[in-house]
Structure 1
């Protein structure tokens, strides 16, 4: 029973965390009526929770593995009570900055669930499960649209204090329903960091999430004002369109995870970044509202699917270090939502339009598409290498001139020659001298006519011992049909020969 309730409980925890995370930015128009905030300080007030909410994801992801999600959510929500109350009685800019700093805990809890929940499900469901959990970012939309309505009725201070009651309810829910027996991973932090920081997949996944989740956050923050100022829409219309963007991106997240469970995750990411590239290119040409809507909804679709896919890949590539990797990747995503609006604003002040900013997004998405394709084919080659390295047959590959360019471990096991001893050598170093020159002439004639030769042949090991092997030699050709390499696969059949005798 406790295990089954973890997915809905932790998803709702994320909803609450994100609701608290955006409290200041959602109520800022009301707060400014009572607290003087200079125009130049508005970005600082709204940015502080975003930055800390991103950076804190790294330690929270790590500690979720160490102590379990129940304790981390409990401590996080208890700590959030203090800044929420402090902001509700704030009367200065400094109060808002101090309180907002600690509101970042609400955004940081994201890395807790993506670390904890995969422990309860088989690998083939990790994508969908993390996608369902990630849909908890809908909490930003809940506060964005509900908090102002409550503030009109009760005032901004009383509205914020309502969140104290909500936090208290979820502190109790986690205390009663959180899993006390969640499996823990006790790998020391430094050991986890050493195990991942040199792995290029960590930084590639961070880049991909920087774009997908960063775009979701950036468009959510930027769209209302942009639609009003650029297309002269009224605030309600702009708000509804932004709500549509949030709902579509959020709904696509579990679908992205579901797709990643059933199809190759990297192929799905190819479509994601292909869509990003085209959509951002459309937006860069300052289109009509109709085309702008199509471009934004495409971004929402791709961002949501991409977010779901990426957190299927994290536990797949990093089983033992999932906590710290989830923290780093999700932190990069949070920062990805902070910088684009600032860059767009600077570019608009410099050029008078947003075209360069959207074009830059298109170029970064295109670069990501290329990197995903590279990862895909590198993975395929990695599988082929695994097969070659672990097969019991000896394998050697030569260039067109007959010089050995690689061998596998089984080659060394059978012949006694180490890899570095044979690279650049001719396979004739293995000859036993038992076969005549005519034998080898027939062998190569068969390869030239048929593309391969197969049969028994006597060779010798490094120590001079002769043995009988079953050998297959095949030609490797390029797309033009030209021979570029030769591959030999063999096994030691001396034992069988002795038995026959």
Structure 2
């Protein structure tokens, strides 16, 4: 039995790698990885920036939330560009904007709270890479491998680990403004690799009229998928941006040690994203998401009540593991329902995720300023996860009946 299981697993793995275009998958991952690194860059730098610019807790929360909101809005734009000019060219444009913006900020400096918000908008272009990298990879793969392909490309979430690990140490050595310039170096290397390796899939859908791009919004399924991703990805990126502030303010950690703690949490969520896609391929995205919402709600509610660093860290890791699986699970479902509109749906669902992240990051700052504690922010987001669970319970039977069995794909 064990031999048969191994042979089946090996055949499925070999079939996956033969079914698509590996250089494009690698290019999508690298682009996504480095883009996410700079998207959340203000989070690990926030304690130092706040000292320099004398920011309040609410201003710190807004500063780290603005890139998330900007990325959310720009994902819709990038989703349109992907379907209009192709993902490779759309990705090239976005990367050039981010590199140029960071180089400008490094050259002239960021000297005010307003300046951090402007920089946050520029970094939003990096967050919008989501709407490019995923369809760039996804269009090469058949339905039975969508979860794996989008999970591997989406593992670029791990770029947030790089920011948490290295940005605080580099800021301590060279100053936080210098980190903006240093980030341009790996971004440029990845841009060159991307241009050499990425290739648009030959089966891309024909461009549609502008009004047709938003047609999915007339269907309730699109709104449900957006809501679910607002919780899973919103929780992931909101925590990735906010945890350096939380660990320094709540437990008095140094910026470097807070970065290490954040990196551990983010690594957990990033590592399991492709596993979440593969799990959803195996047991169905709906079943995987139901477990995700329940576990995330319990972990985040627990964070609100614990008083020690080890307990908080353990609960954050559990929450990030659940949310990472949820990210992969949602995007196992999206192409099953909206295969012909995958570009714009990736943008719309990604936008919803960004809005969720903006809410979490900004609400934690407001909670700290208004109540003196981060706990209310965590409790409200835990409640949102339970609301998502209730919504999924409501729609799951209809989804399975209408669109969950094509080509043997399970939802």
Q: Same fold (TM over 0.5)?
A: yes
Q: How far apart in 2 are the matches of 1:164 and 1:288?
A: 37
Q: How far apart in 2 are the matches of 1:111 and 1:337?
A: 16
Q: How far apart in 2 are the matches of 1:223 and 1:30?
A: 14
CA contact (8 A) 1:86 1:99 kept: no
Cross-structure match for 1:188: 209
Cross-structure match for 1:89: 107
Cross-structure match for 2:195: 175
Cross-structure match for 2:7: none
With the length of structure 2 as denominator, give the TM-score of the two structures.
Answer: 0.84
Structure ranking higher on relative contact order (CA contacts 8 Å, 6+ apart)? 2
Q: Does 1:9 align with 2:30?
A: no
Cross-structure match for 1:219: 239
Cα shift at 1:32 = 6.5
Cross-structure match for 2:357: 337
With the length of structure 1 as denominator, give the TM-score of the two structures.
Answer: 0.70
CA contact (8 A) 1:131 1:257 kept: yes
Out of 159, 167, 176, the residue aligned to residue 139 of structure 1 is 159
Q: How far apart in 2 are the matches of 1:269 and 1:206?
A: 13
Out of 58, 66, 71, the residue aligned to residue 53 of structure 1 is 71
Q: How far apart in 1 are the matches of 2:174 and 2:156?
A: 26
Q: Does 1:306 align with 2:326?
A: yes
Q: Secondary structure at the match of 1:320?
A: helix
User: Which consecutive residues of structure 2, in runs of 5 or more, have no partner in the other structure?
Assistant: 1-17, 407-411
Within 5 Å, which residues of 2 pair with 1:425-464?
none
C-alpha spacing 1:278/1:315, structure 2 compared with 1 (3 Å): same
Cross-structure match for 2:11: none
Out of 58, 75, 80, the residue aligned to residue 98 of structure 2 is 80
**Equivalent residue pairs, number:** 383
Cα shift at 1:281 = 3.3
Q: Secondary structure at the match of 1:183?
A: coil
The structure where strand makes up a greater share of residues is 1
CA contact (8 A) 2:145 2:281 kept: yes
Cα shift at 1:11 = 0.4
CA contact (8 A) 1:114 1:311 kept: no
1:163-184 residue CA offsets vs partner (Å, 9 max, x unmatched): 3333332332233222156433
Within 5 Å, which residues of 2 pair with 1:65-464?
65-91=83-109, 92-93=111-112, 94-179=114-199, 182-185=202-205, 186-194=207-215, 196-233=216-253, 235-286=255-306, 288-382=308-402
Cα shift at 1:115 = 1.7
Cα shift at 1:316 = 0.6
C-alpha spacing 1:271/1:108, structure 2 compared with 1 (3 Å): same
Within 5 Å, which residues of 2 pair with 1:37-48?
38-39=55-56, 41-48=59-66
1:265-320 residue CA offsets vs partner (Å, 9 max, x unmatched): 10111111121232233334345545434432221111010000001111111111
The structure where helix makes up a greater share of residues is 2
Q: How far apart in 2 are the matches of 1:311 and 1:98?
A: 31
CA contact (8 A) 1:220 1:242 kept: yes
Q: How far apart in 1 are the matches of 2:314 and 2:328?
A: 21
Q: How far apart in 2 are the matches of 1:359 and 1:157?
A: 34
C-alpha spacing 1:101/1:341, structure 2 compared with 1 (3 Å): closer
C-alpha spacing 1:228/1:304, structure 2 compared with 1 (3 Å): same
